[in-house]
Structure 1
C-alpha cells in the first residue's frame, strides 16, 4: 500500500506542481523589487549574476518552525535558514565579495518554485521535499533533513491513525507533498476526508486550534514546530504511522552546475565537520525562539545515515 500511495503521490504531484508553476510564474514575475525582477535573466548562471549585482536573493519561509520563520523581532531564523546563510557566505568567498548583500524574500509552498523559475530568488532552503516531480522543474542541493508525514491532533480527539479520520476535516498547507499525499490516499481508501488547504503551516495550525479541522497533516518535524506555538503544548501530540517519507534539499535553478556544486560542497562540509549536527542540536534539542520551547526531537538513525553518506537523491 505504501508504494502504491507514493506512486500516486508522484503522479498527482507532477500535475499539481506544473499547474501551479504555470499559473503563478506570470503573476509573480514582479514580486520583490520590480526592477530587479524585470532585469533578471534566468538563463544567466547564478554566480555570474551575483558577481554582477553584488547580491544574492534567498527565499525563506515565514512560519515553518524550526526550519525558517520570523522570531519576535521579525528576524528570519531557523535550521534551514542557517544553512542558506552559510551557503551565501561561501558564495561571497568564492566570488571575492566579502560584503555580499543578502536579500531575503518571503515565500510559501505555492510560490517557492515559481519564484526560483522566474529569477526572483536564487536559492530556497526550507521544507521543500526533494522528489522526482519537482526535480523536473528545479535542481536540488545535497539533502539536509529527513522526515515523515503524520498528524497533529488534540490528545483527547480520539484520533490515533489514518482510519480515525474518515469523514472528518483535515487541514494541510497548500501546495505541499502532504496535500498531494492526503488527497491521493483519501481517494484510494475512500475515506471521505474533507481536505482544507491553508496558506502555510502557521495558518494550518491556526485552523486546527480553532476547531476547523480535527487534524493537521504535515512532516512530523514541522508538526513539532507548530505544536510549540500552542497555548498549552501538552494538549497536543503527533500520531499515526508515516504516510510518506520526505527528504529536504535546497532548491535552485536547473542547468547551473557550478552553483549547485558550491551549495553541495557547503552542505557536505557542514555534515563532515560536525557543524550540521550542532545546528540540529540548536534547533531541535534546545530552547528556541520565540517562546523558548525545546522541541526535543531525537536525532534519527536515518538522518545520521544521511550525514555519514551525503547525497542529493529523491526518496519519491
Structure 2
C-alpha cells in the first residue's frame, strides 16, 4: 500500500512538472499568438508573384502559399486548428517597423535578407533569389545605366534599388534623378505615364508588373544585374522558438519537393488576374538555396 502511495505521489509530481513545463514552453511569438488567438501575416498588394492582389482583391502568391504552410505548422504546434489568421497590408517603408513592434508576425512579401536588416529582424530560409535590374519602355532605346544621366528613375520607397544603382561600377558617375513610388504599382505607374524613364527593382516583380500592364509588349527588362539578392519571409529577431518552427516548416517544403510545385504554380503557370504565365525559370542560385537551406544575407552572394 505504501509503495502504491509513493508511486502515485511520484506520478502526480511528474504530471505537475510536465504541466508546468508545458505552460512555460511557449515564448515570444508563439506565446503571443496562443494568448491572442490570432496570427498576423504582413502582405503586399503589388509584389507579384510573391504577394499581390488578384482580380477579386484577395491576396495570393508564392510567399502567401508558403506563409499559410507555416500557419498550418503553428496551428499544429499550438493545438489550435481554429487559430485566426489576420492579414495586414505592409509597404516597403513600414514592413520592418511593423514586424519589430509585433503588428505582424510573419512578413510574406518580397523582402531582401541583408546584413543590415538582420540587425533588426530575422529571416526564414531563402525561398527566392532575385536580380535587381531596370524596366524601360522599348521605344526609349535605353539599355544601359549610363543612358540614364539627367533622367528621372523610379524606385519604391524603402527599397535598396537606388543605392545599388549608385554603388554599381556602371552607375557611380551617372547623375539621374530619383523619383519614388509608395509601392511597386505606383513606381511602375511612373514608368507607364512617362514620369520616369526606368523603374529599378527585382526582376521578378518587374516581370509581374509588365505582364499585367495594359501593353506588356512595349516594355523590356534591361541592363546589368545590379545585385543578386536572397528574398525570404521575415519575422522578429531573438525568438528562437518561433524561428525554429518557421525554419523547420520551410525546410520541410524544400525536402518534400513541395516548394518546387509552388514555384511551378506561380512562376511557370498561368496566374491571376490575367491568367498569364511569367515563364520565369528557377535560377541556379535558388536551386542551390533549396538544396542547402540557409538564411545567409545578400552579402554572401557577392562575388
TM-score range, shorter chain: 0.7 to 0.9
Secondary structure, counterpart of 1:156 in structure 2? helix
**Structure 1 regions of 5+ residues with no counterpart?**
1-43
Mapped pair 1:167 → 2:145: no
In structure 1, the partner of 2:87 is: 104
TM-score, with length taken from structure 1: 0.84
Mapped pair 1:147 → 2:130: yes
How many pairs does the alignment contain?
273
In structure 2, the partner of 1:259 is: 242
Report if aligned partners of 2:145, 2:171 keep a CA contact under 8 Å in 1: no
2:267 to 284, 287, 290: 284
Secondary structure, counterpart of 1:246 in structure 2? strand
Report if aligned partners of 2:39, 2:86 keep a CA contact under 8 Å in 1: yes
**Structure 2 regions of 5+ residues with no counterpart?**
1-26
1:1-316 correspondence runs (5 A): 45-185=28-168, 189-316=172-299
d(CA) in 2 for partners of 1:187, 1:161: 8
Secondary structure, counterpart of 1:196 in structure 2? strand
How big is the shift at 1:186? 9.4
d(CA) in 2 for partners of 1:260, 1:283: 25
Report if aligned partners of 2:185, 2:209 keep a CA contact under 8 Å in 1: yes
d(CA) in 1 for partners of 2:286, 2:234: 19
d(CA) in 2 for partners of 1:115, 1:187: 35
Report if aligned partners of 1:152, 1:217 keep a CA contact under 8 Å in 2: yes
d(CA) in 2 for partners of 1:124, 1:295: 23
d(CA) in 1 for partners of 2:71, 2:183: 25
Report if aligned partners of 1:167, 1:193 keep a CA contact under 8 Å in 2: yes
RMSD: 1.4
Secondary structure, counterpart of 2:77 in structure 1? helix
d(CA) in 1 for partners of 2:292, 2:173: 40
How big is the shift at 1:185? 4.7
Report if aligned partners of 2:45, 2:53 keep a CA contact under 8 Å in 1: yes
Secondary structure, counterpart of 2:225 in structure 1? coil
d(CA) in 1 for partners of 2:137, 2:171: 26
How big is the shift at 1:288? 0.7
How big is the shift at 1:279? 0.6
TM-score, with length taken from structure 2: 0.87
Report if aligned partners of 1:186, 1:193 keep a CA contact under 8 Å in 2: no
Q: 4+ runs of 1 displaced by more than 6 Å?
A: none
- String of CA shifts for 1:229-255, please: whole Å, max 9, x gaps: 211211111111101111011111111
Out of 199-208 and 180-189, give the one that drifted further. 180-189
- String of CA shifts for 1:104-153, please: whole Å, max 9, x gaps: 00000001011011111111021100000000111111111101100111
